[in-house]
Each structure stands twice: as C-alpha cells, then as structure tokens.
Structure 1
Amino acid sequence: MTRPLRADAVRNRSRIVRAARKLIAGVGAEVGMDEIAHEAGVAVGTVYRHFPAKADLIAAIVQDRVEEISSILEGGRAAIAAGGSARDELVAVVTAVAERVGEDRALKAAAGGIVAGSLSDVEHRALTVLADIVAAGHREGSLRPDVTVDDVALILTLLPGDDIAEPGRRRWLVLTLRGILREDDRPG
C-alpha cells in the first residue's frame, strides 16, 4: 500500500512540475534537472526523489496537460448535453486548446499523444469525449459530413505553438475551422 505524500512533499512536487513546465516551455526538454530545482526553490535531490529521471518529470507535465485537455473536452460535452450548440462548443474547445498550445510546448506534445499509438486511460477518455462532440456536431449539421474524430484530433495535434505570433495562430485557427464547419456555420 502506497502512503499518501506529506503536505510539504505535495507542495514540493507541485513546485517542481510548475518550474519544469515553465522552463521546458521556454527552453525545451533539454533543460537540466539542476535548473529545474533552482527554479522550484528545492534541492536537486528533492527533484530526483519525486522524479528519478527527466522522462518521469516530462511524463508528469504531459499527463497534467492531457488531463487539462480532457477537462476542456468534458466541459464542451457537458455544455452540449445541457442544450448548447455543438458548433459553438467545438469552436470553444479547439480555441481553448489552441490558446494553451501557444503558451506551452508540453501541451502540444500532450495533444499529439491523443492520436499517437499508445493511449493512456486519460487520453483514451479524452478521445471518447471528442468523439461525442463530433457526433453532436454531425447530428446538429454544423460539421461537414466527412469530418471524423480523427480529423479533429489531428487538428489538435497540429495546432501552432509559440513559434508563431498570436495573430498568425488566430488566423490558422479561423482557416482550420472553416475547413471542418459547414458552409453556413464557418467563422469570420
């Protein structure tokens, strides 16, 4: 039986993940564990106690982001179930994910994981929820009939990151949404 972490250990873990996300978003995955420890305000041994290898830390960051994507998708599905427009929710979901991709390279990796070979439980659930949103868009008639859940997952995978300025990301989003929405439902 695994013992729950003490409160200070939970805080340290959270600080480490936040620091790593910030540094990886700015510098990339090649950032050193000692730099992450310094940014988090902990000893490098504390980092290694929580994350024995950098791959473990990166996996934790990506898992957090996949859970965030899942939460965004589940919110869209809930809004549709409550009578909201599938078109509006799909646009909101893609827009919310796009905004986060602009902020964080790790999120783009997480979005890519949704269509990658091995899906974790969270990623699998996210894909299932996305399928529900796409099906609602088809029932509503706001999505082009040939658009599949894999198409929308691919769009989430290919969202431009912080390597493209905000106006370019917004334009990319508008053009992409025009490609999947029916003619009379396309954004600006």
Structure 2
Amino acid sequence: MTQARAPRADAVRNRKKILDAAREQITLHGPDAGMDEIAAAAGVAVGTLYRHFPNKTDLVSAVIAEYLRHVAEVAEAARERAASGSRAMDEITGFLAYVIEATATNRAVKAAAHTLGADLAVGDAEARAGAALATLIQAGQADGDIHQDVTVDDIYLLFNTAPTDQPPATRTRWLALVLTGLTTHTRSTQAY
C-alpha cells in the first residue's frame, strides 16, 4: 500500500492565499466574484486555483469549512479558559461576541454559499463547538450564572437570529439584550 505524501509547502501556501483571497473577494463582490479575480487577488495563476478548487462551489465550501473549524477552536479555547478558572458566563459572552462579529464579516461568503448551493456540511466542527459550548453552559449553570434550561440549541438559535447585517453598535446592543435571556442576573448597562 502506498502512503500518501504530504502536500508541498508551496501548495499549502497557495491554498491559504486562495482561501484568503476568496473570502475577501466574495465579501467585497458577493457571489459574483469571479475565479479569475480571486486568482489575481491571491497572486496565483488561474490554473493553480482550479487545481485546488475545480469550481467556485468547492472554493466557497472550503472557505466556510475553514471558518467553522476556527469557530470550533475558539469555543474549545473558551472551554479551556473556563476549566482554568475563568467564569463560564464571561467565556460564553466573549464567544458569542466573537461569532457574531466573525459572522458579520463572513456574511457575503455565507450568502454566496447559499446562492451557489455549496455544501455546508460542517463535519466535526459543529460537534466540537457544541461539546465545548455544552461544557461552558453546564459550568455557568453550576456557577448560578446561567438559567438551568439553557441549551446549546439556544445558543445556535441566538446565532441564527443575530443582526449580522447591522452596524457594530447594533450588534453590541443586541448581544447585551439577549444575554439577559441566558443569565440569572439582571441586565447590566455595560457594553460587551
């Protein structure tokens, strides 16, 4: 049996440049961003782009998968900080704020994914993020900071209703308002 070779360093660099350029171009131009423009922005030949991603749908799927992996990493880091003594509610608040802002900047990429019919199968990223969030919620409930009936599905519901198409001040205000539904404490005037 032949063992698969690791990708060459230049191929790894090119793939990263292509994904970064795709995210940027789709954010700027929406689903109509062309493969030629993405290749130019990445500083690679169009053939190189097509070797990595045979079509735009595959490219957009890869950008979304990369984003979701990063969200899972952020959730896991929050869980680790809580395990090391940080308050779980503070970590959940920070995680929610991060995801809302990241989603706001990736909104065009997600719109392109839906327009192009890209596969939004999230693989293990959703499971990893969900497991980290479940641990954080349980810790927050044990601290008495989070209502006992709050679940991971509630957090996902919040993500799906976040005003990611609104200005940052509106998103911050929205987060402050929805946090009152999670926490057992009264609303603070502090902006998150």
TM-score by length of 1: 0.86
Q: Does 1:41 align with 2:26?
A: no
Contact kept, 8 Å, 1:20 with 1:36, in 2: the verdict is yes
For residues 160 and 108 of structure 1, the distance between their equivalents in structure 2, rounded to whole angstroms, comes to 14
Q: Displacement, 1:56?
A: 1.4
1:13 aligned partner, one-letter code = R
1:56 aligned partner, one-letter code = D
Contact kept, 8 Å, 1:33 with 1:44, in 2: the verdict is yes
Q: Structure 2 vs 1, CA of residues 84 and 108 (structure 1 numbering), >3 Å: closer, same or farther? A: farther
In the other structure, the counterpart of 2:86 is: 84
Q: How many residues align?
A: 179
Contact kept, 8 Å, 1:66 with 1:123, in 2: the verdict is yes
User: Counterparts of 1:22-101 in structure 2 under 5 Å?
Assistant: 22-101=24-103
Contact kept, 8 Å, 1:87 with 1:142, in 2: the verdict is yes
Residue segments in structure 1 that go unaligned for 5+ positions in a row:
110-116
Q: Does 1:143 align with 2:146?
A: yes
Q: What is the root-mean-square deviation in Å for CA atoms of aligned residues? A: 2.0
Contact kept, 8 Å, 2:69 with 2:125, in 1: the verdict is yes
Residue segments in structure 2 that go unaligned for 5+ positions in a row:
112-119
Moved over 3 A (4+): 106-109
For residues 108 and 173 of structure 1, the distance between their equivalents in structure 2, rounded to whole angstroms, comes to 21
For residues 32 and 161 of structure 2, the distance between their equivalents in structure 1, rounded to whole angstroms, comes to 22
1:159 aligned partner, one-letter code = A
Q: Does 1:20 align with 2:4?
A: no
For residues 106 and 182 of structure 1, the distance between their equivalents in structure 2, rounded to whole angstroms, comes to 35
SS in 1 for 2:104: helix
Contact kept, 8 Å, 1:65 with 1:106, in 2: the verdict is no
For residues 131 and 86 of structure 1, the distance between their equivalents in structure 2, rounded to whole angstroms, comes to 11
